[in-house]
Chains A and B, each alone.
Chain A
Amino acid sequence: MSKQNRHSLLATAPSHILWTVEHNGIRIFNRQSDRHYVLEYPAAAVWDLLIRKRSIAQLIPILRAIQQVSAGEAVALVQQCLKDWHQQGLIEIEEPDGESVDHHPVQ
């Protein structure tokens, strides 16, 4: 897969995942496992932007500005979030053509 394609990955929340915006971050509820998760910043911003279909290429400059970090650090944060959430079954990761894939590292 090309770097460009990796930067165009999309994350979606499966239908059993509900989430709401709260005062300090985001609350996620997994209806299948009956578990709650609270995401604080900056992870809350990653969740919001990914789930709203911002591609990773669009997301990195925003995250850099929000967190005041380098591009490398922003990418590392996204990678970590994707890995954790994918493992927890909170997200599915798709290619832009809609094909669902296992977790890809982001460059």
Chain B
Amino acid sequence: MPDLSDRHIFIIPVQDKFLLHAPLLKLSALVNRSAAGAIRAALASGAAAENADSRLQPLLDVLRQPPLLPPAPNGAEISPAFLGIVTTRACNSACVYCDFGAPGASGRAMDLQTAVAAVDWYARLLKQQEKELLEIHFFGGEPMTAPAVVETVVHRARLVAARERLTPYFEISTNGLCGPALLAFLGDYVNRVVLSFDGREDIQNLHRPLRGGRGSYPGVFAAAQYLSDSPAQLVIRCCVSQINVDIMEDTARWFCETFNPSLINFEIMQPVESAAAAGLYPPDPYEFAANFIKARRAAESFGIKTVYAADLSTEPVYTSCPVGSDTVIVSPDGRISSCYLLPEKWQEVGLDLALGEMRGRRELAINPAAVQNIRAMVTNKPRCEKCFCRWSCAGGCHVGNTYPGCSADYSDYCRQTRIISACSLLDELNLPEMADTLIDDREALPALACRESDRLMEWEV
């Protein structure tokens, strides 16, 4: 259990004002320097409210409440946020920045019996835990290159859900290049289709060529059009490099005008060798954050939301990724872990995210000690302790960003996350125009993004 005392109250400079942010008390406010100083002094001395400006009294009353920690998965038994099925590591595309082990990956698809065993295990667990939502996410490689696995899981889950009175929910991350019949299947059965689509033709073909160098744009465009009119929720996942960072706003507008997405998700490109060889690099974090906010405004004008995975969350969390929320991800070879990356990726940074394995082809064997270790790992993030995003971003990707022994200094990912989160706080306070000014202020941004500690009580007034 982290020692919180008053360390959960943060102060963030926003040009000449300050954001007071206490996520565990669900309080945020914009204050000026003297108010921030008075609040700090009153909290430090435990002074009677009368000593401070009486207008600050309501804030002080809340800030003196004990913080409410978010509910964490607990108990000896695993309680998955969802079941992930990696149908295959193979892919029919050749995205230059792929980090999922697809290039050169074996084409082996998950055995159908393994897939059924995973669904049955999950349904049994939900019944035991008196839960209702049978939530299954498909990953790859490209999951639709193993369509029989997807069809089997969907139909088995629906059959079991009907029998056990559970509610099935399916999500898939796909490149959409699976042809009209399988797209129709996704449209009819999958609740949320996350389509990898990086923008207009030149960008899409540069970032995500097909094998042999042909462009993937026509296929993905057709998929986005089809899914726009289908019952499935279309989420466009757009990957941003230094090449498309300054056209994010235009890209968001184009997505909204051309398709019917329910969400647009912008993520930065991972710095992998193959991308560097193609001249592609992650974007500058300041540029990314500023353009993300501009893209958000553009999409908002169409009533469409943009998301960034580590952005401010509505509730405080211990982790913003599947790892740490007991998620169970089954790989094609029957290995069970909490992250969908290949084990080599997490082992490289000294992490063990394995949860267990299939016993034979019919039983999932989860190691309870592994569950506890992963739960503990996500709460131990030295870099994040003093960061105001610690209860929303909460470390971001545990493999790529805040692995054990990583630098205590903020990464580019941290800097962009801190800017985006501060802008989201301003939006929540109904001050979007302040966020819009902030992102163009090249002095204020580093002051916010690089600040070593956001803790109010460590602030030197």
Measuring CB to CB, which residues of chain A are less than 8 angstroms from any residue of chain B?
21, 23-25, 40-42, 44-45, 48-49, 52-54, 58, 61-62, 64-68
Interface string of B411-452 (1 = CB under 8 A from A): 000000000000000000000000000000000000000000
Inter-chain contact A58/B148, CB cutoff 8 Å: yes
**Bound-complex Cα distance A54 to B179 (A):** 14
| Pick from A49, A61, A64, A66: contact of B159, CB under 8 Å | A66
Size class of the contact patch on chain B = 10 to 19
14 A-B pairs, CB-CB below 8 angstroms? A21-B231, A24-B162, A25-B158, A41-B155, A42-B155, A42-B159, A44-B158, A45-B159, A49-B151, A61-B112, A61-B148, A64-B112, A65-B116, A66-B152
In the bound complex, residues from chain B placing their C-beta under 8 Å from that of A53 are 181
| Pick from A25, A40, A65: contact of B156, CB under 8 Å | A65
Inter-chain contact A41/B148, CB cutoff 8 Å: no
Leading 6 A-B pairs by shortest Cβ distance: A65-B112, A41-B159, A45-B155, A21-B188, A24-B162, A66-B155
**Bound-complex Cα distance A64 to B393 (A):** 43
In the bound complex, residues from chain B placing their C-beta under 8 Å from that of A25 are 158, 162
**Bound-complex Cα distance A4 to B231 (A):** 36
Inter-chain contact A40/B152, CB cutoff 8 Å: no
**Bound-complex Cα distance A41 to B162 (A):** 8
**Bound-complex Cα distance A10 to B159 (A):** 24
| Pick from A40, A42, A52, A62: contact of B181, CB under 8 Å | A52
- Besides A48-B185, A53-B181, 20 more A-B contacts (Cβ < 8 Å) are A21-B188, A21-B231, A24-B158, A25-B158, A25-B162, A41-B155, A41-B159, A41-B162, A42-B155, A42-B159, A45-B159, A52-B185, A62-B151, A65-B113, A65-B116, A65-B152, A66-B116, A66-B156, A66-B159, A68-B116
| Pick from A40, A52, A54, A67: contact of B184, CB under 8 Å | A52
**Bound-complex Cα distance A48 to B181 (A):** 11
Binding site secondary structure of chain B: helix
In the bound complex, residues from chain A placing their C-beta under 8 Å from that of B115 are 65
In the bound complex, residues from chain A placing their C-beta under 8 Å from that of B184 are 52
Inter-chain contact B152/A41, CB cutoff 8 Å: no
**Bound-complex Cα distance A66 to B148 (A):** 11
> Nearest A residue to B168 by beta-carbon distance?
A23
Given contacts A21-B188, A52-B181, contact A62 B159 (CB under 8 A): no
**Bound-complex Cα distance A58 to B112 (A):** 12
Q: Name the interface residues of B102-161: CB closer than 8 Å to any CB of A.
A: 112-113, 115-116, 148, 151-152, 155-156, 158-159
Q: Name the distance in Å between B323's Cβ and chain A's nearest Cβ.
A: 29
**Bound-complex Cα distance A24 to B112 (A):** 22
In the bound complex, residues from chain A placing their C-beta under 8 Å from that of B188 are 21
Inter-chain contact B185/A62, CB cutoff 8 Å: no
In the bound complex, residues from chain B placing their C-beta under 8 Å from that of A21 are 188-189, 231
In the bound complex, residues from chain A placing their C-beta under 8 Å from that of B155 are 41-42, 44-45, 48-49, 62, 66
**Bound-complex Cα distance A44 to B189 (A):** 12
In the bound complex, residues from chain B placing their C-beta under 8 Å from that of A58 are 148
Q: Name the distance in Å between B45's Cβ and chain A's nearest Cβ.
A: 60
> Nearest A residue to B157 by beta-carbon distance?
A66
> Nearest B residue to A68 by beta-carbon distance?
B116
In the bound complex, residues from chain B placing their C-beta under 8 Å from that of A49 are 151, 155
In the bound complex, residues from chain B placing their C-beta under 8 Å from that of A24 are 158, 162
> Nearest B residue to A67 by beta-carbon distance?
B159
**Bound-complex Cα distance A68 to B112 (A):** 11
Q: Name the distance in Å between B143's Cβ and chain A's nearest Cβ.
A: 16
Q: Name the interface residues of B344-402: CB closer than 8 Å to any CB of A.
A: none
**Bound-complex Cα distance A44 to B156 (A):** 11
**Bound-complex Cα distance A45 to B158 (A):** 9
In the bound complex, residues from chain A placing their C-beta under 8 Å from that of B148 are 58, 61-62
| Pick from A41, A65, A67: contact of B158, CB under 8 Å | A41
In the bound complex, residues from chain B placing their C-beta under 8 Å from that of A68 are 116
> Nearest B residue to A19 by beta-carbon distance?
B188
Q: Name the interface residues of B209-260: CB closer than 8 Å to any CB of A.
A: 231
In the bound complex, residues from chain B placing their C-beta under 8 Å from that of A41 are 155, 158-159, 162
In the bound complex, residues from chain A placing their C-beta under 8 Å from that of B162 are 23-25, 40-41
